[in-house]
């Protein structure tokens, strides 16, 4: 799905004597090459959402690089999803577009309404996804897409200082949602399962703070339960009991 550009030429004609005229073209109508490339990248992502809503699996996969490590698993997931649900999507709101030599990235936000084909129940949610694209055989192809909350959660985990974390949260304020709290829980689980209990405790603690901030009761209960699990591992049973009781009350 492409866009059609119309170029308007502002002509200013001034007579200099009776024998000739001078034509001036407004330079503001000319698009830079960077803008044209960004438009092409945006068009790929817009086309992706249109084909997804139409449940056109072949069309969706044609926009992806076959070399992407996620290609096969995504195709299987979408085959299952398209067989069980219908979709209605808003037009994507695109931000944070960045184009470099042979690569591009952007963020797309859409409002999704999914209808279960078995019971006709609907669910509505806002989806925020980060896309990475590559230039392949003269065309832009999607290489990766992921929930923006997952990428932010990973960045928060990798932050070296509390000031760096605070900066990330200030810059990505729109992503401080239930989805981010869940993503932090998953990040904490990763460290917990590897025996990194102090790291897990820090991440679960951040999830707790954010869940309290947005009044996410379910996320807060889970964070408290996870904190209790870590305290058990660390042998701090009194704190574990306190966290478990707070979680149970929610």
Q: Which residue has the higher pLDDT, 8 or 250?
A: 250
Instruction: Report CA torsion sign: 146, 150, 154, 159.
Output: positive
- Six-digit token string for 152: 């932010």
pLDDT value at 192 more than 60: yes
In tens, the pLDDT along 2-32 reads: 433 333 323 333 333 333 233 332 333 334 5
Burial of residue 211 (CB within 10 Å: 0-12, 13-18, 19+) is: buried
pLDDT value at 89 more than 80: yes
In tens, the pLDDT along 49-69 reads: 999 999 999 999 999 999 999
pLDDT given at position 6: 38
pLDDT given at position 35: 81
pLDDT given at position 5: 34
Q: Which residue has the higher pLDDT, 14 or 39?
A: 39
Return the closest-CA partner of residue 109 out of 182, 180, 45, 176.
45
Q: HSE-up of 80 (CA within 13 Å, CB side)?
A: 5
Beta bridge partners of 98: 105
Q: What is the average pLDDT across 89-104?
A: 94
Q: Which residue has the higher pLDDT, 16 or 248?
A: 248
pLDDT given at position 72: 96
Q: Please state the length of the chain.
A: 250
Comparing 34-43, 55-64, 85-94, 162-171, which segment has the lowest mean pLDDT? 34-43
In tens, the pLDDT along 106-129 reads: 999 999 999 999 999 999 999 999
Cα separation, 142 vs 44, in Å, equals: 8
pLDDT given at position 33: 52
Q: What share of the chain is helix, strand, coil (3-state, %, to 5)?
A: 55, 25, 20
Average pLDDT value for the chain: 88
pLDDT band at 34 (very low <50, low <70, confident <90, very high): low
pLDDT given at position 171: 95
pLDDT given at position 15: 30
Q: Do 49 and 110 meet the contact criterion of CB atoms below 8 Å apart? A: yes
Q: What is the average pLDDT across 171-186?
A: 96
């Amino acid at each position: 799905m492409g866009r059609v550009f119309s170029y308007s030429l502002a002509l200013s004609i001034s007579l200099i004597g009776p024998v000739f005229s001078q034509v001036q073209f407004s330079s503001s109508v000319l698009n830079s090459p960077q803008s044209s490339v960004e438009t092409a990248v945006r068009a790929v992502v817009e086309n992706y959402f249109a084909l997804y809503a139409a449940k056109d699996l072949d069309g969706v996969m044609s926009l992806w690089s076959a070399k992407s490590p996620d290609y096969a698993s995504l195709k299987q997931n979408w085959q299952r999803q398209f067989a069980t649900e219908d979709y209605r999507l808003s037009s994507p709101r695109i931000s944070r577009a960045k184009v470099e030599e042979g690569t591009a990235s952007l963020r797309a936000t859409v409002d999704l309404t999914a209808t279960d084909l078995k019971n006709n129940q609907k669910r509505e949610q806002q989806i925020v996804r980060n896309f990475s694209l590559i230039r392949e055989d003269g065309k832009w192809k999607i290489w990766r897409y992921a929930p923006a909350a997952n990428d932010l959660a990973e960045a928060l985990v990798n932050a070296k200082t509390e000031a760096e974390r605070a900066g990330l949260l200030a810059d990505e304020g729109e992503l401080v949602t239930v989805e981010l709290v869940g993503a932090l829980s998953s990040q904490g689980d990763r460290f917990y399962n590897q025996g990194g209990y102090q790291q897990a405790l820090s991440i679960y603690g951040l999830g707790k703070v954010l869940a309290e901030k947005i009044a996410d009761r379910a996320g807060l209960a889970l964070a408290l339960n996870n904190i209790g699990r870590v305290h058990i591992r660390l042998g701090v049973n009194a704190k574990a009991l306190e966290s478990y009781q707070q979680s149970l009350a929610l």
